[in-house]
A and B are shown apart, each in its own frame.
Chain A
């Protein structure tokens, strides 16, 4: 649930932002893109630490009282996933923009109409981007364990459970959970591959 919510929020931020960065030309656009690209490789533990410092009682957002809650985990995951979704969707839309730029200018399409058309026409390719974001979300452990606290029935997710069981020496359970996570990840990759081949069949490259 935490991963799905994070992914949804990251998509609502990342896809329109990636599209706007692909079709609009402005100062510092390339710098902004370089920053977003570098954020793709953000160390989760560092993100967890920064979110922790902000949400802890003495931090600037401590008054919210959301540390060690699923909300804190969602915030940390959105920070991790949004740059991935933005950068990858930017690349896809930029390729499409080569084809559509003159057409939309000729048709006097308004920016919002253009953005919707870009997202709609690259929907199959964007699905693979979303799945890549989801893959990152479900496999993440560093950030969510710091800001979530790994509280049973509240903020414990599969990855943090694996970490806990390993530290307790309960390797059989940890390995079992790991295999389940691996199967989920494999299913997601297969789905991404199938969608990509489907999109190549039904839209032209």
Chain B
């Protein structure tokens, strides 16, 4: 049976000469790469490398100064965004209860409420479903963000440092869920600083520094034999210049 991703017309994702300049500062500098349908792509790099901006451009939240992004033959925009979801670094949640946050997305996507209970269970939020978001912990908020991202049944899921500064239990739940949705052939594009997490999850790596892609390739190759000096320094925990 052919997988969902391989039959989707959203792949490969082609990034061509992508640049983003803000206040005369080149934050993304001529990025070119191609992301395939299968597996989890992890974007790594030191702070200020341009990872979050790159993902924002991929999702269509930021408009690049130059260059193009194509999902198959579709240019990035509203049509591609409705088949994607994003979990932000700081949880972006409506000032409502847990279940109302999920219902909002279900209504937008004209989905029924049936799988919401299932998502709450998977993210271990069933007991908190009527609680206001303001009373949740950081980990619970991020798990809710992930549950909400999955309501629309996306083909591509972006996670921008979704597990940074979370407790081990929340990280465990989120990673397990990522493995589960990967098996359903959802393409995951994850930003992380956590080398161990990248080793556990990544199939491909994009390594960035100073707004440029320094290295791309399979996770095995990258972790065993990184090519660039910056990647070697990053993996060794040294200062990356």
Is B a genuine binding partner of A? yes
**Taking each of B60, B86, B94, B134, which has the highest tally of chain A beta carbons within 10 Å of its own beta carbon?**
B94
Given contacts A102-B88, A117-B94, A204-B95, contact A109 B132 (CB under 8 A): no
Are A121 and B94 CB-contacts (below 8 A) given A106-B61, A108-B81, A109-B108? yes
* List of B residues within 8 angstroms of A105 by Cβ: 60-61, 81
Say yes or no: is A113 at the interface (Cβ < 8 Å to chain B).
yes
Residue B96 lies at the interface, judged by CB distance under 8 Å to chain A: yes
Within 8 A of A (CB), among B100-123: 104-105, 108
Q: Which of chain A's residues has its CB closest to B82's CB?
A: A108
Q: Which residue of A lies closest to B59 (CB)?
A: A106
Q: How far is the CB of B67 from chain A (nearest CB, A)?
A: 20
Please judge, given known A-B contacts A105-B61, A108-B78, whether A99 and B92 are in contact too, CB under 8 Å: yes
Whose C-beta in chain B lies nearest to the C-beta of A204? B134
Contacts of A100 in B (CB 8 A): 92, 94
| A57-86 interface with B by 8 A CB criterion | none
1/0 contact string of B84-100 vs chain A (CB within 8 Å): 01101000111110000
Q: Which residue of B lies closest to A99 (CB)?
A: B92
Interface size on A, as a range, is 10 to 19
Q: A121-B94, A203-B95, A204-B95 known; A106 and B86 CB under 8 Å?
A: yes
Nearest CB of B to A102, in Å: 6
Q: Which of A141-181 contact B (CB under 8 A)?
A: none
> Which bucket holds chain B's interface residue count?
20 to 34
Closest chain B CB from A55 CB (angstroms) = 43
CB of B18 within 8 Å of the partner chain: no
Contacts of B105 in A (CB 8 A): 107
Q: At the interface, yes or no: A27 with Cβ under 8 Å from chain B?
A: no
A103 located at the interface, meaning its Cβ lies under 8 Å from any Cβ of chain B in the complex: yes
In the complex, what's the smallest C-beta–C-beta distance from A105 to chain B, in angstroms? 6
The answer to whether residues A121 and B95 also contact, given A106-B85, A107-B108 and a CB cut-off of 8 A, is yes
What is the CA–CA distance of A63 and B61 in the complex, to the nearest angstrom?
Answer: 53
With both chains docked as a complex, state the minimum distance between the C-beta of A69 and any C-beta of chain B, in angstroms.
43
Contacts of A96 in B (CB 8 A): 95
Tell me how far the C-beta of A139 lies from the nearest C-beta in chain B, rounded to whole angstroms.
Answer: 32
Cα A121 to Cα B101 in complex, Å, equals 11
Complex Cα–Cα for A204 and B134 (A)? 5
Q: Is the Cβ of B92 less than 8 Å from the Cβ of A102?
A: yes
CA gap between A106 and B105 in the complex, in Å: 11
Q: Determine which of B81, B88, B132 lies in contact with A202 in the assembled complex, contact meaning CB atoms within 8 Å.
A: B132
Instruction: Find the A residue at minimum CB distance from B109.
Output: A107
B133 in the interface, Cβ–Cβ < 8 Å?
yes
| Cα distance, A138 to B133, chains bound together (Å) | 37
Give Cα distance in the complex from A121 to B82, angstroms: 23
Measured between beta carbons, the chain A residues less than 8 angstroms from B96 are 121
A59 to chain B, nearest CB (A): 47
Which chain B positions have C-beta within 8 A of A203?
95, 132, 134
A-B contact pairs, 22 of them (CB 8 A): A99-B92, A102-B61, A102-B88, A102-B92, A103-B92, A103-B94, A105-B60, A105-B81, A106-B92, A107-B105, A107-B108, A107-B152, A108-B82, A109-B108, A113-B108, A121-B95, A121-B96, A122-B95, A202-B132, A202-B134, A203-B134, A204-B133
Binding site for B on A (CB under 8 A): 96, 99-100, 102-103, 105-109, 113, 117, 121-122, 202-204
Given contacts A106-B86, A203-B134, 7 further A-B contacts (CB under 8 A): A102-B92, A103-B88, A103-B92, A103-B93, A108-B82, A108-B108, A117-B104
